[in-house]
A = this chain, B = another copy of it.
């Protein structure tokens, strides 16, 4: 019999950039009575986003962060800067990555590849507290 379960992951990144959340997501999953199904993560913000990326090489994550700083730089020709120079670049980086991720679950585990980790991509310098809505459906 299929059922569903929902929750919220509250995270504060230690700084601007990629912040690993695979472990707290797995901890939440382990506490649910569903071991096969579909897990959805939904970032409830427009200046932070979600990304699945390389979980082994810190240099790859640094390159990713620098790349997004280059293609959506502070000091660009932006009209909107209500919350400072990192405001509009944050929205652009969020638009270029993901607000939502859905991952199949099998035998109580996420079907991530060996080198995949889940990251909160924090785009603000202030790194405020962020909420990620969680939803699990399955059996």
Report chain B residues within 8 Å CB of A6: 36, 104, 106
Residues of B with C-beta under 8 A to A72: 67
**Given A44-B112, A131-B113, A64–B36 Cβ distance below 8 Å?**
no
Query: A36 → chain B, closest Cβ, in Å?
Result: 7
Is the Cβ of B95 less than 8 Å from the Cβ of A97?
Answer: yes
Q: CB-CB < 8 A to A46: which residues of B?
A: 52-54, 113, 115-116
Q: Is A92 among interface residues, defined by CB-CB distance under 8 A?
A: yes
> How distant is A65 from chain B, measured CB to nearest CB, in Å?
11
A100 interface neighbour in B43, B96, B103, B137, Cβ under 8 Å: B103
Q: A135: which B residues are within 8 A, CB to CB?
A: 37-38, 104
Q: Which residues from chain B contact A106 at a C-beta distance below 8 Å?
A: 6
A62 within 8 A of B: yes
A binding-site residues for B, Cβ under 8 Å: 2-4, 6, 36-38, 40, 42-46, 51-54, 57, 59-60, 62-64, 66-67, 71-72, 76-80, 82, 88, 91-92, 94-104, 106, 111-113, 115-116, 131, 133-135, 137-139
